[in-house]
Amino acid sequence: MIKLINNSSIERLILVGFAATLAVLLLVGGIALSYAVESEGAVNLIKASIILLSIFLTLLFFKVQSAIRARREFERALNEGPMLKAGALQDAIFNSANFSSIATDSQGVIQIFNVGAERMLGYTAAEVVDKLTPANISDHQELIARAHVLSSEMGEAIRPGFEAMVFKAMRGMEDIYELTYIRKDGSRIPALVSVTALRDAVGKVIGYLLIGTDNTVRKQAEEEQSLLDQRLRDQQFYTRSLIESNVDALIAADPRGIISDVNSQMEQLTGCTRDELIGAPFKNYFTEPERAEEAIARVLREGKVTNYELTALARDGKQTVVSYNATTFHDRERKLQGVFAAARDVTERKMFDHALQETNAELEKARAAAEKANRAKSEFLSSMSHELRTPLNAVLGFAQLMASEVPAPPPHQQRSIDQILKGGWYLLRLINEILDLAMIESGKVTMSQESMSLSDVLQDCHDMVGPQAVKRGIHLEFPKFDKLFYVHADRTRVKQVMINLLSNAIKYNAAGGAVLVQCVVSGKDRIRISVKDTGIGLAPEQVAHLFQPFNRLGQENQSEEGTGIGLVVTKQLVELMGGIIGVESSVGVGSVFWVEFAASEPPVLVLDPIDELALERRNAAMRERADQPTLLYVEDNPANLALVEQLIARRGDLRLLTAVDGHLGIELARAYLPDLILMDINLPGISGYDALHLLQQDPATAHIPVLALSANAMPRDIEKGLEAGFFRYLTKPIRVREFMEALDTALEHAAESGLGSIAEPGL
């Protein structure tokens, strides 16, 4: 019961109690006064007591009433404080500029449009309150789409517009969705909107509250993230495409050798799916697991492995030989992540290599057989040429004796002798040309290529073919020899080439015709020598077969003799010297045969400073002995002869003899017994090796030290020369100090042997 009494009832009871107490006191005082009238003092005392008690009770009454009033104020303060605080918070939220708050009535007409809404949408509250609905400032197409989605979701028709915006909130559902507001200036702003229904005390909807936040930053972040995600997906797709499009089986493994990724080629190689391979040890898919494990360890140790051969083992037992190439890969912090390997199927290549090895072996056998046959052919031709020369020498010798008899043979015998001589000389020429061709094909022809004077060679050729041209009435025209041309070639072989071309130009020329020789610079660093005749010329089909052996191009039945080998030998000699040969011909006009060689500078001495003391010692030694030592130099190149003459003159202690070919050199050596001989290797007639052999076989000249001087400067050439018995092997161009020291050493050797004396000519 007490708990049911409120504060107002308690206050009323207290006031009533005070009034009753005061009334009782007055009543008691009156009664006391009526009994105490006989005593004035007592009466006064009672009166005074009653007055004091009344005052006390009155003061107490006002004190209680004041306390009651204070309690009421306190209780009112307690009741009104939270309401004031909640109101202040509501005002702060409603007036916040960070988000929009839009309150509408139940029909959707805007009633409240806060500062945040003004700032976000650009409207003032006066422009929208009681005038617009939130649907009027929203994207219409989005509302149509939202209405369509809600209609499907709720199973009832929902109209686009404000109804679509508040449909869920109207039914008490939580509704937060994205919406695009249209600002006053027409620009668009994405927003995240929370919709709440406002209800009265009985729960009736009286309006709606739409609280929205600017979603631009989040949308941009989402778009950027979406773009990054798409780029990542594109990159992953591109990377995967690269991996899958590779023709090799690709494998990624962690440092423990556990497979982390593969491509389809690896699936085909092993017969396992990608899921089966990932997580399995790399070594499990090879015939030699230890070797496969070592392949992983090696690339981790060295960082890279190439052409490491393994044999892959498929699930069905099929084995495939692969070339394993691998490297390590790391993350952005350069931390090792594992091994990336490519396994290329080399089974076909291995089969091809094996077949190639077998083929090469067969080819090597065939080449060896061919070389053996070629050597046998060359040896046969060489021996046969010598064997044929012996009886042919007798035939030609006796025929010439018969032709020179006194008295002369009768005319019919002379005609027979002439035929014998004609056939014999032709047969000798044929034997020589066949021997030359055989030597070239067998690789026995050596070239001593050096700087040589083309003008000197042409002068020699003019002298040699001049009588032949005069005999046939052919006019020869050579370039002026005062203009010097130098080429890098073998002098003896160049002369052989030019003699052959000039002889053909004279032989196949028209009666009373002419041969024109020209020498010009052709292109860059090339010299061209052309031989032009005024003969019958060649047809194109004849030119095509010009350099075939034994093909005389229809001249077999003509009066001119020929073997059909000369041009073949000429072409091969030119090409051996790095030159080019060609022909231009017109039927009835004539032909032009030309050759080209690399141009060269005149030969010069490589001048080293000569030791003056050594030169003085040589001169002193020359003065002490009565006779000068003799040097025989066998060389066919005039330029080289001139250089050596300068060097010997500079020494002053040697007498110089010269020979232009090997035969003459041997004759001079036997006649003069020089102290030492300087020998070129490539000489006309016989080579320097042949001349050395003949000198060594003759007891009179075997003791003479022979020094080789050649342009053949390869190590194998030097080794071959020393093995043949040359005292020293010097190379061109001449180095003065080396040349002089070699001569000094040879002279000392000759002096020590006690045979270094000079003999008087015996011829």
List, as one string, the DSSP characters of 124-189.
Answer: -HHHHTTT--GGGGB-HHHHHHHHHHHHHHHTS---TTHHHHHHHHHTT--EEEEEEEE-TTS-EE
The answer to whether domain 100-220 and domain 246-345 are alike in fold is yes
Token pair of 732 as six digits: 């061109």
Q: Give the integer Cα–Cα distance in Å for 702 and 677.
A: 11
Q: What share of the chain has pLDDT > 90, as a percent?
A: 30
Q: Which fold has domain 445-598?
A: Heat Shock Protein 90 (3.30.565)
Q: pLDDT, tens digit, for every residue of 268-323?
A: 889 999 899 999 999 999 999 999 999 999 999 999 998 898 999 999 999 999 98
pLDDT above 70 (res 645): yes
Choose between 16 and 458: higher pLDDT.
Answer: 458
Q: pLDDT, tens digit, for every residue of 450-478?
A: 888 888 888 888 888 888 889 889 999 99
In the chain, where the domains are located: 2-92, 100-220, 246-345, 351-438, 445-598, 612-752
pTM here is 0.43
Choose between 632 and 449: higher pLDDT.
Answer: 632
**Lookup result for tokens 């649907």:** 135
List beta partners, residue 42.
none
Q: Give the integer Cα–Cα distance in Å for 689 and 525.
A: 33
242-257 mean pLDDT: 86
Q: pLDDT, tens digit, for every residue of 325-365?
A: 999 999 888 899 999 999 888 887 777 777 888 888 888 88
Provide the CB-side half-sphere exposure for 520 (13 A, CA).
8
452: helix, coil or strand? Answer: strand
Choose between 20 and 87: higher pLDDT.
Answer: 20
246-345 under CATH 3.30.450.20, yes or no: yes
234: helix, coil or strand? Answer: helix
List beta partners, residue 528.
520, 596
553: helix, coil or strand? Answer: coil
pLDDT above 80 (res 28): no
Q: Give the integer Cα–Cα distance in Å for 604 and 2.
A: 145
63: helix, coil or strand? Answer: helix
10: pLDDT confidence band, cut at 50, 70 and 90?
A: low
pLDDT for res 618: 55
| C-beta of residue 733 within 8 angstroms of C-beta of residue 753 | no
Between the CA of residue 614 and those of 2, 740, 741, what are the distances in Å?
Answer: 151, 10, 10
Beta-carbon contacts of 22 under 8 Å, excluding residues fewer than 6 positions away, are 54, 57, 58, 61
Would you tell me the crossing angle of helices 454-472 and 491-507 to the nearest 10 degrees?
20
Beta-carbon contacts of 269 under 8 Å, excluding residues fewer than 6 positions away, are 249, 285, 312, 314, 320, 322, 343, 345
Beta-carbon contacts of 711 under 8 Å, excluding residues fewer than 6 positions away, are 448, 449, 450, 731, 732
Token pair of 111 as six digits: 């009633």
| C-beta of residue 495 within 8 angstroms of C-beta of residue 461 | yes
The CATH class that applies to domain 100-220 reads: alpha beta
What pairing do the DSSP bridges indicate for beta strands 475-477 and 514-521? Answer: parallel
pLDDT above 90 (res 514): yes
pLDDT above 80 (res 250): yes
Choose between 261 and 374: higher pLDDT.
Answer: 261
705: helix, coil or strand? Answer: coil
Q: pLDDT, tens digit, for every residue of 716-760?
A: 788 889 999 999 998 877 777 888 889 999 998 888 875 444 334
Q: pLDDT, tens digit, for every residue of 205-233?
A: 999 999 988 888 777 878 888 888 888 88
Q: pLDDT, tens digit, for every residue of 146-182?
A: 999 999 988 889 999 999 999 988 888 888 998 999 9
Q: What is the rounded average pLDDT for all residues in the chain?
A: 80
442: pLDDT confidence band, cut at 50, 70 and 90?
A: low
479: helix, coil or strand? Answer: coil
Comparing CA positions, the residue from 705, 755, 758 lying closest to residue 727 is 705
121: pLDDT confidence band, cut at 50, 70 and 90?
A: very high
pLDDT for res 551: 60
Token pair of 322 as six digits: 């692969």
pLDDT for res 756: 42
pLDDT above 50 (res 265): yes
**Dihedral Cα 289, 292, 297, 300, nearest 10 deg:** -150
pLDDT for res 763: 33
Cα 702 from chain centre: 61
Token pair of 256 as six digits: 């423990």
351-438 under CATH 1.10.287.130, yes or no: yes
Q: What is the DSSP letter of 760?
A: P
Q: pLDDT, tens digit, for every residue of 537-584?
A: 888 888 777 777 656 555 545 555 555 677 888 888 898 889 999 999
610: helix, coil or strand? Answer: coil
612-752 under CATH 3.90.320.10, yes or no: no
334: helix, coil or strand? Answer: coil
586: pLDDT confidence band, cut at 50, 70 and 90?
A: confident
Q: pLDDT, tens digit, for every residue of 47-106?
A: 666 666 666 666 666 666 666 676 666 566 555 555 555 455 556 656 666 688 999 999
